[in-house]
Structure 1
Amino acid sequence: MTFATTDLCDDYAAMLDDGTLAVLPPVYRSFGQKLRFCGPATTVQVFEDNALVRSTLETPGHGHVLVIDGGGSLRRALVGGQLGVLAQHNGWAGIVVDGCIRDCDEINVCEIGVRALATHPRKSSKTGAGQVDVRVQVSGVDVSPGDWIYADADGILVSRQELD
């Protein structure tokens, strides 16, 4: 799918006004080979623990975007190189992390798109704490499972419906 987030904002200005389309704050860094990606959201809510992130990425992605509410933590990484490869092999369109990643050189060669707040060398815990497929909040924006995520060089959009 070819799209530009700038055009989507222009074309769907009424949705921006009524809140059914939102723009994430411009605080995310881009990683991976796909600079532009979109798809329906699958959500995970965790805090400094990536066991649920891994188990979710182990399932077929079917072109979805994994949206990780990591609470904005800058103390540990929630996605690393192995999970980037797993996401690529299992058909995920991309990953948005409200938190950190690590192994960015490994992620940068993967055929997926990744957006994250920063990189951090420390790995996460692995207790399995958190929730999957729940409404999350990412940088102040609500994201529900099935919402559409559109990401390119200009930003990340969250839409309650697929946009043409």
Structure 2
Amino acid sequence: MEGNAMEKVMWLVLGATVMVASLRADRSERARMVARTALGVLFLVFGAIVNAIYLVTDWESFGEFGELSQFAFVRDTWASLVAPNTGLFIGLLIAGEAAAGILVLSGGRWTQAGLVMLMAFHVGLLFFGWWLWIYAVPMLGALSLMLRAERRHEAQLADAAPTRRRRR
């Protein structure tokens, strides 16, 4: 299977896993961990690492991405700012995807920070073409459910922690 096709299959499989597991993440520790792991791997491996490979092997492919936007200001900005500075902006994208993936896999408040980062990322995707809405909108729902589950889990841990008595 060609690398590009494998990448698309993995985005579909891991993205669907995140979406389905997020539906039960609030009630199931296993579902919460499956969603977290699938999301972290998705962005760390199939986001950051794959984009780094594309940056090295297929530099020009990033210039075309902005052309698909339904908004003229996005197309114009991409063509005038991002495409001429592909290394800088795609490097920042790669760093952001890697950071979000690592944060999501880290647990606790770090996971929550990673989820918020990925929510912002997916809102940004909405500006790059109607076809991305098919992916980004359901993923925003899944990320919201995961964030709620992570916050509730942390609150349960805080409630279960024994209170310390003051020494006199």
Q: For the superposition of Structure 1 and Structure 2, which TM-score range results when normalised by the shorter chain?
A: under 0.3
Tell which has more relative contact order, 1 or 2 (C-alpha 8 A, sep 6+).
Answer: 1
Which one has the bigger strand percentage? 1
Greater Rg by CA: 2
Which one has the bigger helix percentage? 2
TM value normalised by structure 2: 0.24
TM value normalised by structure 1: 0.24
